Amino acid sequence: MPNIVKTTTFPGLLDLVAPHYCRGCGHIGEPICNRCKKYILNSNPNLCPICKKPNPTGICSNCSLPPTYIVGKRTDLLNAIIHDYKYNSVRALALPLAEMLNTRLPDLNGNVVIVPLPTISRHIRSRGLDHTFLLAKKLAKLHSNFKVSKLLQRNSNTVQVGSDHKTRITQANKAYKINPKINIKKDTTYILLDDVYTTGASLKSATEILKKNGVDKIVLAILALSILD
């Protein structure tokens, strides 16, 4: 596998000097080269996030989830790229991450709306980047029938990091609400987009709210499945 280029000493500084070096092999040109993108996609099957089994169709017969598409496990190179994108605010990684996620998605016809799971506003301010929203915009640009909508809003700024499993699930149950300014459309597929699946509590909560408000076609799209929990 490609070695991960270390950027931990001066994160951000290296990006100012040479923003477009491949995080996998160091090759200058793109933030992740085609060879390393292929490596990530080929070394990860689409997985069911609940039973963790390969799930080529996105629909697991054993687990009750909407069709779910994931780039891969949050390890090695994929983990390094997501970290660099999210915490070091490397915007140039949004497109290649969107492209990799796009290769997992089935053909979705008709109206498609991508709903990014809302990031805590304090994190957006401190990072200078709403990473899930930017990812949604890049993914939408790859299809003429995709749009992005900030349909979900956070109820309160509860933080998941460090909370135990039970607390996280309780917090997630009341984490989101529907944006009152946005109407839900009939005959539309809604893609719920998140960066990392850990307990699944956030996506479960988001799915339930959409269902309660009359959405019947939901697809989950996730960059990575955390294998730590």
Specify the pairing of strand 68-73 against strand 111-116.
unpaired
Minimum distance between the CB of residue 51 and Zn ion, rounded to whole angstroms?
A: 3
Residue 60 touches Zn ion, criterion: CB under 5 A: yes
Among 22, 47, 81, 105, binds Zn ion (CB under 5 A): 22
Torsion angle of C-alpha atoms 192, 195, 199, 200, degrees rounded to 10: 10
Instruction: For the segment 65-124, give every residue that binds Zn ion (CB under 5 A).
Output: none
Question: CB-based contacts of 7: which residues, under 8 Å, 6+ apart?
Answer: 14, 15, 23, 84, 88
Nearer to Zn ion, 15 or 130 (CB): 15
Q: Give the C-alpha distances (Å, rounded to integers) separating 90 from 117, 125, 135, 222, 229.
A: 19, 15, 12, 19, 26
Among 14, 48, 94, 140, binds Zn ion (CB under 5 A): 48
C-alpha angle 52/189/89, rounded to 5°? 65
CA–CA separation, 135 and 98 (whole Å)? 6
Residue 33 touches Zn ion, criterion: CB under 5 A: yes
Minimum distance between the CB of residue 15 and Zn ion, rounded to whole angstroms?
A: 16
Minimum distance between the CB of residue 33 and Zn ion, rounded to whole angstroms?
A: 3
CA–CA separation, 4 and 109 (whole Å)? 37
Minimum distance between the CB of residue 94 and Zn ion, rounded to whole angstroms?
A: 17
Question: CB-based contacts of 95: which residues, under 8 Å, 6+ apart?
Answer: 138
Among 63, 108, 169, 182, binds Zn ion (CB under 5 A): 63
Residue 25 touches Zn ion, criterion: CB under 5 A: yes
Stated as kind and residue range, the H or E segment containing 110 is: none
Minimum distance between the CB of residue 65 and Zn ion, rounded to whole angstroms?
A: 7
Q: Which stretch binds Zn ion (CB under 5 A): 17-25, 72-80, 113-121, 196-204?
A: 17-25
Nearer to Zn ion, 22 or 140 (CB): 22
Residues within the interface to Zn ion (CB under 5 A): 22, 24-25, 27, 33, 36, 48, 50-51, 60, 62-63
